[in-house]
Amino acid sequence: MTRFDSALDVAAAIRAKEVSPLEVLDHYLARVDELDPQLNAFSLRDDERARAEAKAAADRLAGTSVDELPPFLGVPIPIKDLNAVAGWPTSYGSMAVPDTPEERDDPVVERFREAGFVLMGKTTTPEFGTISMTESERHGRTRNPWNTVHTPGGSSGGAGAAVAAGMAPIAHASYGGGSIRIPASCNGLVGLKPSRNRIPNRAQKMVAASTSGVVTRTVADSAVALDVMSVLDRGAWNVAPPPERPYREEVGAAPGRLRIRISESNALGIPIDAACSAAVRRAADLLADLGHEVIDEPPAWPDPSQFLSGFLTIWSTIAAGIPGLDPEKMEPHNKANWDAAQATSSIAFTEAELLLQELSRELIAQFDPEAGGVDVLVTPTMAVEPPKVGSIWEGMDEEPGAPLVNATPMAAYTAMFNVTGQPAISLPLHVSDSGLPVGVQFAAGPWQEATLIRLASQLENAAPWADRWPNITA
């Protein structure tokens, strides 16, 4: 076993009894001991509890038929510090939140436990997950293992850094504007954002734009993890339609000849770096070589001013509902969000929600091949290479909202699909001249995760990235 094995490879080694769950856990914890002092990817460790879970996995392995074992028995996974794990506090990356242990797991954490994962701790996030770089007053700055001068992205930056550095084989990720795909792009990983309401949660805010997922090394890991997470929640107000078959069966399945649109433009009109343009051009050539119909023209994006107006109104409410929150201890940019939300009427909030629904219809209508639309839209994942650590705070002394503005080029291509609820995946198809990963985003029509998994698997076979990992040491 190496530190860059996929989660499914680790699971297979455990099932074959080539290595024990405790040996696996200790392998990764040693890597955390070695590298996390410089990367700062973990906000909480509970090695004793993790070892108890690994021992329980070993006992289950000894007493259960292989065919009856869950898919990820004994595989370590960290949980992002925006989600509840019973017995651990959820800090939300904030000084404004008390260290109160949670009484119960979030639904996605329950699914992880049922799948056999060993919970190895929590990963860093910016305060409330509101910006695309993982830096907070509470936990400090998280760094990119490819080059520690640069950010691993956010808000699941700790998750991305942990997997890229080999401190975990897979990591939970989440949230509402690109926080799965952005760290996947920054760290050379696979990041699949599922469709709206595909992944259960107890209650949803932000018009259900937020979701959980994982960052992984392989398409197969993401597909099987999606099977784990997407159990039907009969208590939810809204649910996504079930897939025709398990997502694991889509890995390696022929995608057919897809109608694919390529776009370097984005909904916000943000210019893109040369490396991001090169990444999407390379993807276009690869798709054409694979026999797909490639249309090199942008979609009709919604009006950017309308989109931003509606999105920011919803985004300002992101801290709502957090227990024990003390607004006076928030970081300035989030306090500005809080104050804006407090000043927004229920009428204005509802109007923003309705506007985003109408804008979503305009974009989704273009994903219908039978009506002249496309199966998939391909864009850069981000408009920029991973920025330098600390750069997101420039100008905040003059304008508290500057970090959100500074983060916009990182989320210019991703946030739209959180709003529309469409599935989208970032694949590590490119490395810039500076040696930093550059992801390419693939978005499909509503509930078409299967299409994305088939296509991503085809691309992974055609342009493998398995041997491309950061050479980081203590």
Q: Which of 136, 156, 174, 179 is catalytic?
A: 179
Residue 222 bears catalytic tag: no
Distance in angstroms (rounded) separating the CA atoms of residues 414 and 361: 17
Calculate the alpha carbon distances from 133 to 37, 140, 158, 268, 334 in Å.
18, 11, 10, 19, 14
Question: Does residue 439 sit in helix, strand or coil?
Answer: strand
Alpha-helical (H) ranges within 316-443 are 332-342, 346-364, 402-411, 415-420
Distance in angstroms (rounded) separating the CA atoms of residues 257 and 247: 20
Calculate the alpha carbon distances from 127 to 116, 141, 179, 457 in Å.
30, 11, 13, 34
Beta strand spans in 167-258 (E): 171-174, 190-193, 212-216
Distance in angstroms (rounded) separating the CA atoms of residues 317 and 335: 11
Distance in angstroms (rounded) separating the CA atoms of residues 379 and 77: 30
Calculate the alpha carbon distances from 263 to 99, 298, 299, 462 in Å.
45, 4, 7, 21
Question: Does residue 373 sit in helix, strand or coil?
Answer: coil
**Residue 321 is which amino acid?**
G
Residue 388 bears catalytic tag: no
Please list the residues that pair with 183 across neighbouring strands.
none
Q: Residue 184: which of 474, 338, 414 has the closest Cα?
A: 414
Residue 193 bears catalytic tag: no
Are the CB atoms for 102 and 87 separated by under 8 Å? yes
Q: Which of 136, 155, 210, 316 is catalytic?
A: 155
Q: Which of 80, 174, 210, 360 is catalytic?
A: 80
Are the CB atoms for 85 and 101 separated by under 8 Å? no
Active-site residues: which are they?
80, 155, 179
